[in-house]
């Protein structure tokens, strides 16, 4: 849809005049146009461009930087692309497209896919098995009281800890510690690990 000032003005005018034919015009066209211009500037968060850049290149006067948020990106021939929301002024070195960066607004509904469950199974000091997406896990040593990994970032985790010298035994007899915590990247235990102790951490 092509948007012009006249189109915006007529849309606003028809909405203001609508509903009550005898109401008559209660607004001045010039006032509506001024409000429209202000609203557009607010929407685009416009700011004037410096006329002379540090590189001594000159940008014509009367140009502004306009912000556009949450422009969808789509896959394209093995790469990805985003459609320009408006045609920028043509400047040298494609400077009309002044900035492109990851969206920060978060207004686009994003379909999220659950992260794979990551399971860390360790016999402290002897073996470590990680299943799911490979992540760096640190702290799985005797004497440590913390286990940290980006895998635990804002995740809930199940923890099983017990004195099981043989890897592979499922410690579900209730004598072990089984809990659910929300980890940041760090899980802190009340007592230090000892060599040979079994530890299983699983993200939920």
Closer to other proteins by Cβ: residue 41 or 163: 41
2 lies in the site for other proteins, by CB under 8 A = yes
The nearest distance, CB 46 to other proteins, in angstroms, is: 7
- Supply φ then ψ for residue 138, to 5 degrees: -120, 155
Q: Which of residues 4-23 bind other proteins (CB under 8 A)?
A: 4-9, 11-12, 15-16, 20, 22-23
Tell me the C-alpha distance between 61 and 51, whole Å: 6
Question: What is the torsional sign of CA 30, 32, 34, 37?
Answer: negative
The nearest distance, CB 73 to other proteins, in angstroms, is: 5
Query: Given phi > 0 = left and psi -120 to 50 = alpha, else beta, which region is 132?
Result: left
Q: Which of residues 96-155 bind other proteins (CB under 8 A)?
A: 96-105, 108, 110, 113
The nearest distance, CB 36 to other proteins, in angstroms, is: 6
Q: Which of residues 166-195 bind other proteins (CB under 8 A)?
A: none
Token pair belonging to 38: 């202000």
54 lies in the site for other proteins, by CB under 8 A = no
With CB under 8 A as the contact rule, the residue among 87, 136, 166, 204 that binds other proteins is 87
The nearest distance, CB 129 to other proteins, in angstroms, is: 22
Map 5-58 to HEC letters.
HHHHHHHHHHHHHCCCHHHCCCCCHHHHHHHHHHHHHHHHCCEECCCECCCCCE
Q: Identify whether the C-beta of residue 9 lies closer than 8 Å to the C-beta of residue 32.
A: yes
Q: Which of residues 28-47 bind other proteins (CB under 8 A)?
A: 31-32, 35-37, 39-44, 46
């Amino acid at each position: 849809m092509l948007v012009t000032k006249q189109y915006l003005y007529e849309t606003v005018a028809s909405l203001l005049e609508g509903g009550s034919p005898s109401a008559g015009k209660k607004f001045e066209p010039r006032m509506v146009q001024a409000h429209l211009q202000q609203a557009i500037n607010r929407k685009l968060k416009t700011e004037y461009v410096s006329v002379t850049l540090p590189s001594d290149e000159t940008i014509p006067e009367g140009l502004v930087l306009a912000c556009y948020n949450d422009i969808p990106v789509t896959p394209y021939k093995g790469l990805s692309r985003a459609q320009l929301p408006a045609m920028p002024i043509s400047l040298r070195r494609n400077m009309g497209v002044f900035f492109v960066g990851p969206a920060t607004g978060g207004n686009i509904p994003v379909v999220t896919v659950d992260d794979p469950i990551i399971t860390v199974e360790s016999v402290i000091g002897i073996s470590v098995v990680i299943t799911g997406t490979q992540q760096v896990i640190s702290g799985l040593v005797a004497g440590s009281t913390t286990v940290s990994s980006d895998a635990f970032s804002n995740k809930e985790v199940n923890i099983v800890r017990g004195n099981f010298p043989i890897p592979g035994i499922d410690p579900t007899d209730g004598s072990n510690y089984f809990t659910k915590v929300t980890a940041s990247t760090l899980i802190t235990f009340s007592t230090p690990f000892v060599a040979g102790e079994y530890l299983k951490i699983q993200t939920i």
